[in-house]
Amino acid sequence: MPVRTAAPQESEARRRRRVQEILKALKARYPDPQIPLAHRAPFELLVATILSAQCTDETVNRVTPELFRRFPGPQALAKAELAAVEELIRPTGFFRQKARAIVECSRRLLAEHGGEVPPDMEALVRLPGVGRKTANVLFAAAEIERWPGWPHTRSRPDGTGIVVDTHVTRLSRRLGLTAEVDPEAIERDLVRLVPPDEWSRFSLRLIYFGREVCTARDPRCAACPLRQLCPSAPYGGFPPWMASPARGGARRGRRTR
């Protein structure tokens, strides 16, 4: 196996050409990716995304039908007893913090936005439990599902960007699209490389690809359609520039979603 201690260097022009090839390959594999969290309205996706922190989408999708049956909107959830909400969302982990977040978020929506989820990045990230990742999930869904009153195109000046979850973090680093580890820094690198009209579906395609092929523990590099475009392929998906300094090697056992 090659020995290297730093990510390979490449010109900006070469990296942009490689990104275009990556986009093309991912689009061929996932022509119409959909939001994996089940939802019927922006509020339901907002709550589901808050619950998805450190939890699989499958678990969230098992929990939310009963949650939304008991508390079908922000009006009901704002009045909910925390203990009742905690019991319903317990399987998602960190259930006490998440229960407080979704109840307080519901109250804030009623107090400041008439019970509606605001289609504005600055307003969204001021809500309890909402950061840029959650807000970008909503903007991606709005574009893909054509939500009324929400933007259906993306552009840099509106403050929106690319969803960066654990899969997007791992794959963007393995693919050599960023050397950053902070999600917001990774997002800045990605929005510079990926055209705005690809932002919503690009992150979804990376997420699905990370689950199916470029997994955290056992990446299928030999069968990967991106292997000719990926600097991590010669290292079996565990390149030295992604090694954990504390352990002196790549971390194979970390759970991601």
165, 182, 197, 218: which one is catalytic? 165
| pLDDT higher than threshold 70 for residue 2 | no
Could you give the angle at the alpha carbon of 240 between the alpha carbons of 181 and 169, nearest 5°?
Answer: 25
Examine the domain organization and report whether 24 and 100 are in the same domain: no
Give the per-residue pLDDT at 248. 42
Is the pLDDT reported for residue 254 higher than 50? Answer: no
Write the pLDDT tens digit of every residue in 190-221: 999 999 999 999 999 999 999 999 999 999 99
Q: What Rg value do the Cα atoms of the chain yield, rounded? A: 19
Q: Is 165 a catalytic residue?
A: yes
Average pLDDT over the chain, rounded to an integer: 92
Same domain? For 47 and 146 the reply is: yes
- Mean predicted confidence (pLDDT) in 171-181: 95
Rounded to whole angstroms, the Cα distance separating 236 from 256 reads 18
Do 144 and 67 fall into the same domain? Answer: yes
In this model, does residue 183 exceed pLDDT 50?
A: yes
Residue 193 to residues 83, 190, 232, Cα–Cα distance (Å): 45, 5, 19
Choosing from 116, 151, 186, the residue where a domain stops is 151
| Same domain, yes or no: 129 and 81 | yes
Do residues 53 and 135 share a domain? Answer: yes
Which of 115, 131, 151 delimits the end of a domain? 151
DSSP H helical ranges for the chain = 12-29, 42-51, 57-70, 74-78, 82-89, 95-113, 121-125, 132-145, 166-174, 183-193, 199-212
Q: pLDDT (tens digit, 9 = 90+) per residue, 147-157?
A: 999 999 887 77
Contact predicate 186/10, CB 8 Å? no
State yes or no: pLDDT of 188 exceeds 80: yes
For residue 128, the enclosing domain spans: 42-151
Beta bridge partners, 249, equal 244
Report if residue 252 sits inside a domain.
no
The answer to whether 167 and 257 have CB atoms below 8 angstroms apart is yes
Residue 46 and residue 29 share a domain:
no
> What angle is formed at CA 136 by the lines to CA 18 and CA 64, rounded to 5 degrees?
125
The reply to whether 174 and 212 lie within a common domain is yes
Q: Which two tokens stand for residue 121?
A: 């990045």
Cβ-contact 35, 64 below 8 angstroms = no
Catalytic annotation on 189? no
| Dihedral angle sign, alpha carbons of residues 145, 150, 155, 156 | negative
Q: Which residue, of 133, 151, 169, is where some domain finishes? A: 151
Q: What is the pLDDT of residues 38-92, one digit of tens each?
A: 999 999 999 999 999 999 999 999 999 999 999 999 999 999 999 999 999 999 9
> Does position 3 have pLDDT exceeding 90, yes or no?
no
Least confident of 21-25, 121-125, 137-141, 239-243: 239-243
SS3 249: strand
Instruction: Answer yes or no: do 105 and 145 share one domain.
Output: yes
pLDDT tens per residue, range 221-253: 999 999 999 999 999 999 998 986 544 444 443
Angstrom distance (rounded) from CA 23 to CA 33: 13
Residue range 97-135, pLDDT digits in tens: 999 999 999 999 999 999 999 999 999 999 999 999 999
3 inside domain? no
What does the alpha-carbon distance between residue 108 and residue 160 come to, in Å, rounded to a whole number?
21
Q: Are 126 and 153 contacting, i.e. CB atoms less than 8 angstroms apart?
A: no
pLDDT of 1 higher than 70? no
pLDDT at 256 over 50: no
**Sign of the torsion formed by the C-alpha atoms of 184, 189, 190 and 196:** positive
Check whether residue 140 and residue 190 sit in a common domain.
no
Q: What is the pLDDT of residue 8?
A: 78
What is the percent of the chain where pLDDT is above 90?
Answer: 87
- Catalytic option among 133, 182, 189, 218: 133
* CATH code: domain of residue 63: 1.10.340.30
